[in-house]
Every structure is written in C-alpha cells, then in structure tokens.
Structure 1
Amino acid sequence: MAAGGPASELIMFIVAIIVAGSVAGALAHVTNDIAGGIKIRGESLSYNLKSDAVIINDPENIPVAGTGPYNYIFYIKNVGKESITFSSDALQVFIDGNMIPPSNLTLVDVNNAPISSLDPYEVGKIVVTTTLSSGAHKLVIVLENGKVRSFVFRLP
C-alpha cells in the first residue's frame, strides 16, 4: 500500500499538468482570435477616420442650369487623408428621401472634367438632373465607406 500512494499522486500530478496545458492552449487560441479581430477592426476604423467628405454649397444659393429638368450643382470636398472613390456606382445621392438614379448624376471636377476619385482636399461637383419645387429640400450623400452626409438647402 505504501507504493500505491506515490504512484496515484504521480498520476494525479500528470493529469493536472495535462489539464493545465489544455486550458492554456485554449486561452492562447481565444486570445489570438481576439487580437486578430481587434487588428481587423482597427484597420477598418483607421480607414474610416482617414476618409471623409463634406458638402460645401451655400444652402441659400444652389447653382442651377437648364430649362427643365434642371441640373442642380452640389460641391463635395474630400477632407480626409485618403482618396475616395467618386463615381455614381460608389456613392448614392438622395433628395427628400428619393434616391437619384445613377443616370441622373454627373460627377466631375470643378473644371467639368470626368474623374473617378477625389484626392485629399480636392473638390468635386455632383450634378443632379431632376425637377424640384421651390422651398426647403434635403440632400443626403452616402459615401462608399458608409458615411452619410446631409445638407438642407432652399430653392427660390
């Protein structure tokens, strides 16, 4: 019986080491998954913080051209540190809650040259072809990264 005591203690010790190793391995795996998720989320957040735009029109004086349907001109400035995609496929435009179809949008630079992206601090023009009544309206632009910019303007 004397030899059975140390042998059972040795077996219990080995089992305890195996269980502790298994728990440590599982914790290491979970920690690695959390670290990977934090890294991916951090990169996404960094991109979102570096890419931003604002609408810079005078809300009381929207440039209008044409005889109907009219071409309303809105200026958008990239105020972020990264280029943003500037095409009718990459951003959506809503006026008073109605989505403007891409066929009614023209996206150009301030010299009316077609462009596909806005570099940092560059200004682009969004020309919306539609008919609007006089009074207050709300323009909403949704960027490719999901950021939403809204602008309330008034037409005479």
Structure 2
Amino acid sequence: MAAGGPASELIMFMVAVLVAGSVAGALAYVTTDIANGMNDRGAMLADQLRTDFAIINDPTNIPVAGTGPYTYTFYIKNIGKTSIPFTSDAIQVFINGEIVPPANLAFTDVNGNSITSLPPYEVGVIVVTRETALTPGNYYKLTVVLENGKKRSLVFKAPSP
C-alpha cells in the first residue's frame, strides 16, 4: 500500500501536466489566430485609408451627348495615395440605386484614352451609356463604389440631351 500512494500521485501529476499542455496549446493557437486576424484587418484598413476619390462634376451641368443612346460623363479624381483600378471589373456605378451594367461603362483619361488604373491626383472619366435619356430637370443620385468598398455619391440634375 505504501507504494500505491506515490504511484497515484505520479499519475495525477502526469495528467495535470498533459491537461496544462493542452490548454496552453489551445491558447497559443487562439492567440495566433486573433493576431493574424488583427494584422489582416489592419492591412485592409490601411488600404482603405490610402485609397480615396471624389466625384468632381458640377451637379447642375452634367455633360451629355447623343440622341439615343445617350452618354453621360462623370469625372472622378483620385485624392488618395495609391492608384485606383479603373475598370468595370473593379468599379460599380449606380444611378438611383440601379446598377449600370459593365457593358454600358467606359473608363478613360481626360483626353479620351482608355485606361485601367487612375494614378494619385489624376482625373479619370466614367462614361455611362443609356438607351433612354434621364428625365431632364429631375434629380438623380450617382453612386460609385470601388473594389475595396469605398463609395462616393453625387446628386445631380439631369441635363437636356
């Protein structure tokens, strides 16, 4: 009986060490997972802070051309520190909450040359093509959304074609 006491204490000690090791391993995994999540979120937030743009049209004088289809011209200025992807894959355009199909969008520089990215402090042009004209004199809301979720809106008065 005397030998049973130290043996059972040794077994209990080993079980306690195994349980403590398991808990420490689980805590290390959870801590690493949280740290990685914070790192990813921080990188995404930094990207959003470096990326910014403005719609710089005069809301009472939107350029329009055509007699059907109609083309409306909107000017976007990159006021951030990084280039913005400037394609229909990376930017969504909404008019009064209705998405403009990518086939009805053209992305150019101010000289009319097709571009795929908008460098910092440069102005780009989004040309929206519609089969029917916006009702002249009515107010519409244009919303431009970048691939990272950053969005800007402009309420404008539809011009006469």
**Do the structures match in fold with TM over 0.5?**
yes
CA drift of 1:57 comes to 0.9
Residues 44-59 of structure 1 aligned to structure 2 (within 5 Å): 44-59=44-59
- Work out the CA distance in 2 between the residues paired with 1:68 and 1:18: 77
Give the stretch that moved more between structures: 4-13 or 87-96.
4-13
- Structure 1 runs, 4 residues or longer, greater than 6 Å off: none
CA drift of 1:20 comes to 1.0
Match of 1:80 in 2: 80
Residues 27-106 of structure 1 aligned to structure 2 (within 5 Å): 27-106=27-106
CA drift of 1:109 comes to 0.6
CA drift of 1:65 comes to 2.4
Match of 1:150 in 2: 153
Match of 2:135 in 1: 133
- Work out the CA distance in 1 between the residues paired with 2:17 and 2:81: 52
CA drift of 1:101 comes to 2.2
Q: How many residues align?
A: 156
CA drift of 1:30 comes to 1.4
Match of 1:3 in 2: 3
- Work out the CA distance in 2 between the residues paired with 1:10 and 1:128: 78
* Local SS of the residue matching 2:152: strand
- Work out the CA distance in 2 between the residues paired with 1:74 and 1:27: 53
- Work out the CA distance in 2 between the residues paired with 1:118 and 1:10: 70
Root-mean-square deviation over aligned CA pairs? 1.7
CA drift of 1:75 comes to 0.5
Could you list the runs of 5+ residues in structure 1 that have no partner in the other structure? none
- Work out the CA distance in 2 between the residues paired with 1:96 and 1:118: 25
Could you list the runs of 5+ residues in structure 2 that have no partner in the other structure? none
- Work out the CA distance in 2 between the residues paired with 1:6 and 1:100: 79
Give the percent of matched residue pairs that are identical in Structure 1 and Structure 2.
Answer: 66
TM-score normalised by structure 1 residue count: 0.89
- Work out the CA distance in 1 between the residues paired with 2:143 and 2:72: 14
Q: 1:17 to 1:59 in 2, by over 3 A?
A: same
